[in-house]
């Protein structure tokens, strides 16, 4: 056993971490070898295939990808639970392989599976967690009380966790992850399995956390809207590697412009005049016509609308409705991963079933 | 061992102990089952004590150590189920992410198994006493019996944990346990003096750890204790317990690698 002393992790911001990336992973590779049964893939499943990310301190960083893309494996490696076959990673300035104990003191984790002891009460779970980080006495009691209050669990604190609703359990999980005031919080699919109401509440909670105390949050999700709403920066992961990263707006901005959808008041007799008329408007392209529906891309959708209406009016076509849509992350995913998000989801479900 | 290991072990044991107390159904079954063994077998085999060569005066006197040891085996051989549940629920991973000393997680299992087995054994001693059993070896004999059954419980608990982490299937644990419990019990002096067994059974019983615990306990509980038998059987038990705990630590490490 090492003789390293336990320091109270309350103001623990190591010098190395200041200014450096909160999470820095380079070329992570991890293969899971099947054990005994299920010899469908004797070579193993390559969960990570050279994944690299860098997360600056104080932001919410989203890892977005379908099930089986390698998000959870990344979290397991970064939280010292699993070891990568190759590549290196540092969290809060500490190497996950060489200094796991320092990493553990600097991070909080909300895993996909709750991990809370269902037979113990909510308060017991929090107190035990604090003790494992060396917190004791009145200071621990105050911290636990504050967390119970903050996550709206004060009334249920004395009840066994198995009586909690899904939303309460998730809030408790987040509280457990925060007891020792970590610098980096990992949220591994925090809203999967929650009902819409509880999901919205969890989103608000994450937004509130993001503003506080310079906490860095690494969030994994397979919900496009969740990544879009919460992440300051995000990396799209597919088949064990990052296919693209940036801010949600940057990623969507890289798609060529907004989607413009025009609904005509009557069927156009011929498509050529429509395409000609719209093509003459500056910045509008990729025009297609299906019956009454005209779809096009525009560099600045909102600005193009009056000119589009005027152009259609000139050739005598009335317009029933116009909508302008910013590109969605789904479009981004399609472009970089080469398949649509929902298609990737269903493939990985099939792959997962064989495991 | 550093103080952190001791305090971590204490907190993890406390958690398991609270879980034990908070599940009254489990607690009650742990207490009722030995009662059933005691009175069922006590009534069924009462006449056995009259067989020439059996030795003991009352069958209840003879039966108490048997039930204690059988209960130690049957309650601890399910330990792997709890471990499996902790793995599946994500509780084990939650602890592995904290700075808790790894050895504390396994220590807590061992301490908990030994404590609950000792507790259960004391209850059976008291029940036997209420039922009219005599303990000629006095307190020292009873202490040896309880310690021996706790060590035996640790052996089966550790093997069960190792099995749970290796195969990760409830069915395997259930299968092996139901397969092992009765043969191991009947191939020992739990219900029948070994001198009355067929020769081959006597030979097998000599290598049966369940019988080691019984021999150690019975030798100490006799009116004139045979301390050499206590020592030799006790040593084998402790050695096997060390091996079992070592094995469960190894499988624990292999679990960590497979995460």
DSSP A121: B
What would the DSSP string read from start to end of B31-92? HHHHHHHHHHHHHHTGGGGGSTT---S-HHHHHHHHHHHHHHHHHHTTHHHHHHHHHHHTHH
What would the DSSP string read from start to end of A245-288? EE-HHHHHHHTTSEEEEEEESS--S-HHHHHHHHHTSTTEEEEE
Q: Return the percent helix, strand and coil in chain A, to nearest 5.
A: 40, 25, 35
Q: Which domain holds residue B89?
A: 3-258
Q: Which residue of B has its CA nearest to A78?
A: B97
pLDDT at B30: 80
pLDDT at B213: 97
Q: Find where tokens 């040896």 sit.
A: B144
Q: Find where tokens 């009662």 sit.
A: B35
A177-191, A262-276, B59-73, B186-200: segment of lowest average pLDDT: A262-276
What would the DSSP string read from start to end of A146-208? HHHHHTT-TTTTTSBGGGS-HHHHHHHHHHHHHTT--SEEEEESTTTT--HHHHHHHHHHHHH
What is the least distance, in Å, from the CA of A113 to any CA of chain B? 5
* Separation of alpha carbons A124 and A169, rounded Å: 14
B1 versus A169: which is more confidently predicted? A169
Domain count, chain B: 1
Instruction: Measure CA A187 to chain center.
Output: 8
Structure tokens at B144: 């040896």
Question: Is the pLDDT assigned to residue A50 strictly greater than 80?
Answer: yes
- Model confidence pLDDT, tens digit, residues A58-84: 999 999 988 888 999 999 999 999 999
Is residue A93 left, alpha or beta, with left meaning phi > 0 and alpha meaning psi from -120 to 50?
A: left
Say whether residue B172 is in contact with chain A using an 8 A CB cutoff.
no
Q: Which residue of B has its CA nearest to A6?
A: B4
Identify the H or E element spanning B232: helix B227-258
Q: Give the pLDDT mean for B229-240.
A: 96
Say whether residue B19 is in contact with chain A using an 8 A CB cutoff.
yes
CB-CB neighbors (< 8 A) of A133 in chain B: 98-99
- Model confidence pLDDT, tens digit, residues A122-156: 999 999 999 999 999 999 999 999 999 999 999 99
pLDDT-derived band at A1, boundaries 50, 70, 90: very low
Say whether residue B103 is in contact with chain A using an 8 A CB cutoff.
yes
Question: Percentage of residues in chain B with pLDDT exceeding 70?
Answer: 99
Say whether residue A114 is in contact with chain B using an 8 A CB cutoff.
yes
pLDDT-derived band at A353, boundaries 50, 70, 90: very low
Q: Which residues of A82-110 are buried (b: 16+ CB within 10 A; e: fewer)?
A: bebeebebbbbbbebeebbebbbbbbbbb
- Model confidence pLDDT, tens digit, residues A23-49: 999 999 999 876 555 455 667 888 999
Question: Is the pLDDT assigned to residue A19 strictly greater than 60?
Answer: no
* Contact check, Cβ <8 Å, B99/A104: yes
Question: Is the pLDDT assigned to residue A331 strictly greater than 90?
Answer: no
What does the mean pLDDT of chain A come to? 84
pLDDT at A13: 38
Q: Which residue of B has its CA nearest to A160?
A: B22
Q: Which residues of B84-122 are buried (b: 16+ CB within 10 A; e: fewer)?
A: bebbebbbbbbbbbbbbbbebbbbbbbbbbbbbbbebbe
What is the least distance, in Å, from the CA of A254 to any CA of chain B? 37
| Domains of chain A, earliest start first | 16-252 (3.40.50.300), 256-326 (3.30.70.2470)
* Separation of alpha carbons A60 and A231, rounded Å: 5
With CA atoms as reference, report the closest residue to B149 among B63, B67, B62, B32: B67
Phi and psi (nearest 5°) for B113?
-65, -45
* Separation of alpha carbons A14 and B58, rounded Å: 71
Question: Is the pLDDT assigned to residue A161 strictly greater than 90?
Answer: yes
SS3 A306: helix
Instruction: Measure CA B85 to chain center.
Output: 21
A179 versus B166: which is more confidently predicted? A179
Q: Give the pLDDT mean for A217-232.
A: 90
A30-44, A209-223, A244-258: segment of lowest average pLDDT: A30-44
With CA atoms as reference, report the closest residue to B243 among B173, B166, B161, B155: B155
CB-CB neighbors (< 8 A) of B257 in chain A: 83
pLDDT at B48: 84
Say whether residue A256 is in contact with chain B using an 8 A CB cutoff.
no
Phi and psi (nearest 5°) for A56?
-80, 150
pLDDT at A44: 80
Structure tokens at A234: 């995000």
Which of residues 28 through 67 in chain B touch A, CB cutoff 8 A? Answer: none
With CA atoms as reference, report the closest residue to B16 among B81, B146, B111, B96: B111
pLDDT at A18: 40
């Amino acid at each position: 056993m090492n003789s390293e002393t336990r320091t109270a992790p309350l103001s623990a911001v190591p010098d190395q971490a200041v200014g450096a990336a909160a999470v820095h992973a380079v070329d992570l590779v991890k293969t899971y070898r099947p054990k005994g049964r299920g010899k469908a893939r004797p070579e193993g499943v390559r969960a990570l295939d050279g994944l690299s990310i860098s997360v600056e301190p104080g932001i919410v960083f989203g890892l977005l990808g379908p099930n089986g893309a390698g998000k959870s494996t990344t979290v397991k490696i970064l939280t010292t639970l699993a070891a990568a076959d190759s590549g290196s990673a540092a969290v809060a300035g500490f190497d996950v392989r060489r200094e796991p104990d320092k990493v553990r003191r600097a991070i909080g984790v909300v895993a996909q599976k709750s991990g809370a002891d269902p037979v113990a009460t909510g308060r017991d779970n929090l107190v035990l967690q604090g003790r494992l980080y060396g917190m004791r006495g009145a200071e621990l009691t105050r911290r636990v009380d504050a967390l119970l209050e903050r996550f709206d669990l004060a009334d249920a604190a004395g009840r066994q966790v198995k009586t909690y609703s899904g939303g309460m359990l998730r809030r408790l999980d987040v509280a457990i992850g925060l007891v020792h005031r970590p610098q980096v919080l990992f949220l591994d699919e925090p809203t999967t399995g929650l009902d819409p109401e509880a999901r919205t509440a969890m989103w608000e909670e994450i937004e509130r956390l993001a503003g506080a105390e310079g906490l860095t949050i690494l969030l994994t999700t397979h919900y496009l809207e969740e990544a879009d709403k919460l992440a300051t920066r995000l990396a799209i992961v597919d088949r064990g590697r990052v296919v693209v990263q940036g801010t949600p707006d940057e990623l969507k901005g890289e798609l060529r412009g907004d989607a413009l959808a025009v609904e005509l008041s009557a069927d156009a007799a011929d498509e050529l005049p429509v395409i000609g008329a719209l093509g003459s408007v500056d910045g509008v392209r990729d025009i297609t016509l299906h019956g009454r529906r005209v779809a096009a891309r525009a560099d600045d959708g909102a600005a193009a609308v009056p000119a589009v209406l005027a152009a259609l009016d000139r050739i005598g076509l009335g317009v029933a409705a116009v909508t302008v849509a910013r590109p969605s992350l789904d479009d981004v995913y399609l472009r970089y991963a080469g398949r649509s998000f929902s298609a990737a989801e269903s493939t990985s479900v099939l792959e997962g079933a064989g495991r | 061992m550093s103080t952190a290991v001791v305090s971590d072990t204490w907190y993890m044991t406390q958690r398991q102990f609270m879980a034990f107390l908070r599940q009254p159904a489990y607690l009650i079954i742990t207490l009722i089952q030995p009662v059933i063994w005691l009175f069922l077998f006590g009534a069924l085999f009462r006449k056995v004590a009259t067989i020439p060569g059996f030795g003991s005066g009352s069958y209840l006197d003879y039966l108490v150590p048997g039930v204690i040891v059988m209960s130690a085996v049957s309650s601890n051989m399910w330990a792997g189920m709890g471990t499996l549940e902790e793995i599946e629920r994500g509780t084990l991973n939650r602890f592995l992410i904290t700075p808790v000393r790894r050895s504390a997680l396994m220590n807590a299992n061992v301490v908990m198994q030994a404590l609950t087995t000792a507790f259960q054994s004391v209850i059976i001693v008291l029940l036997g006493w209420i039922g009219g059993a005599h303990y000629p070896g006095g307190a020292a004999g009873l202490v040896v019996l309880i310690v021996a059954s706790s060590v035996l419980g640790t052996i089966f608990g550790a093997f069960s944990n190792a099995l749970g982490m290796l195969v990760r299937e409830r069915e395997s644990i259930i299968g092996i346990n139901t397969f092992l419990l009765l043969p191991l019990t009947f191939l020992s002096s739990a219900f029948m003096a070994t001198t009355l067994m067929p020769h081959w059974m006597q030979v097998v019983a000599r290598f049966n750890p369940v019988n080691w615990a019984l021999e150690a306990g019975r030798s100490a509980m006799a009116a004139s204790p045979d301390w050499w038998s206590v020592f030799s059987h006790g040593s084998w038990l402790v050695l096997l317990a060390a091996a079992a705990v070592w094995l469960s630590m190894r499988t624990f490490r292999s679990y960590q690698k497979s995460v």
